[in-house]
Amino acid sequence: MQRYRIIEDPIDIGEVVTKVEDRNAGAINTFIGTVREMTKGKKTVFLKYDAYVPMAEKKLEQIGDEIVEQYPEAKVAITHRIGRLDIQDIAVVIAVSTPHRADSFAASRYAIERIKEIVPIWKKEHWEDGEEWIGDQLEKKSYSKGHPEEEDLT
Amino acid sequence: MQRYRIIEDPIDIGEVVTKVEDRNAGAINTFIGTVREMTKGKKTVFLKYDAYVPMAEKKLEQIGDEIVEQYPEAKVAITHRIGRLDIQDIAVVIAVSTPHRADSFAASRYAIERIKEIVPIWKKEHWEDGEEWIGDQLEKKSYSKGHPEEEDLT
Amino acid sequence: MIEILLFAELEEIVGERKLTDPQLVGKTINEVREKLKQDYPNIKQIDRAMVAVNEEYAEDDQQLNEGDVVAFIPPVSGG
Amino acid sequence: MIEILLFAELEEIVGERKLTDPQLVGKTINEVREKLKQDYPNIKQIDRAMVAVNEEYAEDDQQLNEGDVVAFIPPVSGG
């Protein structure tokens, strides 16, 4: 079972959830990222996602490992889709199971934030009047040294 | 489309998620409550859930309304299963969509906490050596007046 | 007629989910609770129950009208 | 041989996702970056890119060995 995947086809939510089922899980949190039409008043027509696939899958796995280090009973699965996505399409599904609910929320939130920091996936927004590669990191911080600090990577 | 349901059959996660899809949702958080085998060292064999069905559906809807009051662009759907549930079975699925991810996490967390406060659903744990109706509220607070305070209900 | 609904452990103690009593019209919820404790001496847990009238949570001093449905709601444990 | 991978806007500017260059063995990542800026003057954005060697993030002063794959990773935007 491959728990960290980059795929080109639509993501099956149930399949991702199934990967984290566990007799001692009382909670499964899933985060589903979808393509939103309006961002800051601008209308998206469609998106294209690209990835450095083998490294992206490794980095998703690293995120899962980081979660298990913090929550030893957690199980994690993440699938990210690449290629052309239309409005409402699902770009990413994260599923985290834990014995108790608070940890499942915290770990799922951690996973999506980490994806936006270290996983080599890029989104190109296509509007009616143009297109642009988006760099989410720049919204929050700039890597002046050309790479993330040690704390962002490990 | 009925977005707040108490049912006796297995819950279809995808169906609950579909109810909150929206062109302006960028995030869907789902919380899935499952039957855990071990609780405080005690082994659960199966559970039985019962509910005051019409009032429970009303109270689920109230929780959704409370969320929309706080996050006007949110969409909420909640399905809770009753009857006999075995280990790993899904008891509840909450789905919340919002334009941005932080709100979807916060609202989904709010929903599960509120369910445990105000929705008339009861769980009877069956162990190998006995059975007992569980009152989650008592783990956190006791209603000495015999009813929740105003702030818990509205 | 007043309809009384009992759930979970309360239902098991009484052996019924639903009781009806025409004599409770005009009484308060508190009086209904006391009557149940008289009729079923081992229903002590009812003191911990919330109460709903017609599917909305209600205060103990609320008076009941003809046709009201009073539900005693033990500590809930959904989710 | 050193393999260079370029993604997103970097790929579009260069017109290739993959370049190979045997002369970069022994050079640092920083030297590779400077060479790319010489060869493709409009690749300014490469200064904002992270770098990975063999699929792990690396520091700018890392020296490259025969067979290394160097990926320039513009600010990511998955999720």
Read off the pLDDT of residues D17-45 as tens digits, 9 standing for 90 and up.
Answer: 999 999 999 999 999 999 999 999 999 99
Does the beta-carbon distance from C78 to B119 stay under 8 Å? yes
Q: Do chains C and D touch (3 or more CB pairs under 8 A)?
A: no
Does the beta-carbon distance from C48 to B50 stay under 8 Å? no
**pLDDT at B26 > cutoff 60:** yes
Does the beta-carbon distance from A34 to B14 stay under 8 Å? no
DSSP label at residue D71: E
- What CATH number does the domain containing B117 carry? 3.90.1170.40
The domain tally of chain D equals 1
In a domain, B151, yes or no: no
In a domain, C79, yes or no: no
Q: Which residues contact B110 (CB under 8 A, 6 or more apart)?
A: B63, B66, B67, B70
Q: Model confidence over D36-75: pLDDT tens digits? A: 999 999 999 999 999 999 999 999 999 999 999 999 999 9
Q: Model confidence over B29-49: pLDDT tens digits? A: 999 999 999 988 899 999 999
| Contacting residues of A for B99, CB less than 8 Å apart | 36, 38
Residue A136's pLDDT is: 61
Residue B151's pLDDT is: 42
Looking at chain C, which residue has its C-alpha nearest residue B35?
C79
In a domain, C32, yes or no: yes
* Residues A10 and A88 sit within 8 Å (Cβ to Cβ): no
Q: Model confidence over B44-72: pLDDT tens digits? A: 999 999 999 999 999 999 999 999 999 99
The three-class DSSP label of residue B36 is coil
Chain B positions with Cβ closer than 8 Å to C: 33, 49-52, 54-56, 58, 80, 91-92, 112, 115-124, 133-138, 142-143, 145-148, 153
- CA C69 to chain centroid, in Å, comes to 9
Q: Model confidence over B69-79: pLDDT tens digits? A: 999 999 999 99
In a domain, C78, yes or no: no
DSSP label at residue D22: G
| Contacting residues of D for A79, CB less than 8 Å apart | none
- What CATH number does the domain containing C9 carry? 3.10.20.30
Q: Model confidence over C39-67: pLDDT tens digits? A: 999 999 999 999 999 999 999 999 999 99
pLDDT in tens, chain A (154 residues): 899 999 999 999 999 999 999 999 999 999 999 999 998 889 999 999 999 999 999 999 999 999 999 999 999 999 999 999 999 999 999 999 999 999 999 999 999 999 999 999 999 999 999 999 998 644 444 343 334 444 444 3
The domain tally of chain A equals 1
Residue A139's pLDDT is: 45
Q: Which residue has the tokens 């919002």?
A: B98
pLDDT interval class at B136 (50, 70, 90): low
How far is C42 from chain B, CA to nearest CA, in Å?
16
- Interface A-B, measured as beta-carbon pairs within 8 A, has a size of 91
From A25, A36, A104, residue closest to B25, measured CB to CB: A36
| Contacting residues of A for B26, CB less than 8 Å apart | 33-36, 39
3-state secondary structure chain A: CCCEEEECCCCCHHHHHHCCCCCCCCEEEEEEEECCCEECCEEEEEEEEEECHHHHHHHHHHHHHHHHHHCCCCEEEEEEECEEEECCCEEEEEEEEECCHHHHHHHHHHHHHHHHHHCCEEEEEEECCEEEEECHHHHHCCCCCCCCCHHHHC
Residue B144's pLDDT is: 37
CA-nearest of A134, C59, D75, A112 to B146 is: C59
Task: Give dist(CA B149, CA B141) in Å, integer.
Answer: 11
Average pLDDT for residues D9-20, to the nearest whole number? 97
D57 burial via Cβ count (<10 Å: 0-12, 13-18, 19+): buried
B132 burial via Cβ count (<10 Å: 0-12, 13-18, 19+): exposed
From B24, B104, B108, residue closest to A38, measured CB to CB: B24
Residue B103's pLDDT is: 98
In a domain, B154, yes or no: no
Give me the domain span that covers residue C20: 2-73
Q: Model confidence over C7-45: pLDDT tens digits? A: 999 999 999 999 999 999 999 999 999 999 999 999 999
In a domain, B80, yes or no: yes
In a domain, C67, yes or no: yes
**pLDDT at B134 > cutoff 70:** yes
The three-class DSSP label of residue B41 is coil
The whole-chain average pLDDT of chain D stands at 97
How far is D48 from chain A, CA to nearest CA, in Å?
5
Residue A149, Ramachandran bin (φ over 0: left; ψ between -120 and 50: alpha; else beta)? beta
Residue B154's pLDDT is: 38
Give me the domain span that covers residue B69: 4-146
pLDDT interval class at D77 (50, 70, 90): very high
* Residues B57 and B4 sit within 8 Å (Cβ to Cβ): yes
From A17, A38, A109, residue closest to B32, measured CB to CB: A17
**pLDDT at B140 > cutoff 90:** no
Does the beta-carbon distance from C55 to B55 stay under 8 Å? yes
C3 touches chain B (CB under 8 A): no
